[in-house]
Amino acid sequence: MPLYKTIAPNSQTTVKIWKISESYETLLQSITLTEVSMTRVLGMKSELHRRGFLSVRHLLAEFGYTDHDLFYDENGKPHLKDGKHISITHSFTFSGIIVSDRDVGIDIEKQREKVAVIAHKFIGYEFDYLDKTADDYVNKLIVIWCVKESLYKLFATPGMLFRKHFLVIPFMMTDEDTVAWIDYNDKKYRYTSHFFEFEGFTCAYVFE
């Protein structure tokens, strides 16, 4: 089974990453989908998306859950019926889940140079410390995007803007962790963030 990595940042939190190497047909075996999930996966035009969706269900099984234990609220945020907090991500050939006793968020992104072209859409405060001439400029942009996407998944509040409401304090790529803030409606929320790179991808996850 292609469980790629398991991380336990603390005693209440576990991250699992799946490398999606199986075919759609293989992934469909040995899991049971709800009627809603089956309709959803059959409606996906991209086989890559279908495989990503199914790999997440295999990750659920790694935690001892099934598709029936998962549901989504009106903002699209996933929840587990036992009250544990969960966040889900998949990108191309990798998927990931984080499960915890506290609010969490996770994101995986493929490392691509074009992130520099759209940086102005999600970078605000961070431009004050980023060096566009540095060799790791693109890597840092992707980390910031992953952290902010993780924050968005955690907070799940419509109307929030990556550039305006999420802040990632200065960090070095070798740190593999930093602090991030949500500044929204005159309130500030502080989160611990961890990140790492692997096989041309970046993953970040955040928790209170």
Q: Which domains does the chain have, with CATH numbers?
A: 3-104 (3.90.470.20), 107-203 (no CATH)
- The pLDDT value recorded for residue 63 is 97
- The pLDDT value recorded for residue 127 is 97
- The pLDDT value recorded for residue 1 is 56
For residues 31 and 13, what is the distance between their CA atoms, to the nearest angstrom? 24
Tens place of pLDDT per residue across the chain (208 aa): 589 999 999 999 999 999 999 999 999 998 999 999 999 999 999 999 999 999 999 999 999 999 999 999 999 999 999 999 999 999 999 999 999 999 999 999 999 999 999 999 999 999 999 999 999 999 999 999 999 999 999 999 988 999 999 999 999 999 999 999 999 999 999 999 999 999 999 999 999 8
pTM of the full structure: 0.95
| End-to-end CA, the chain | 31
Beta bridge partners of 5: 17
Contact 149, 107 (CB under 8 A): yes
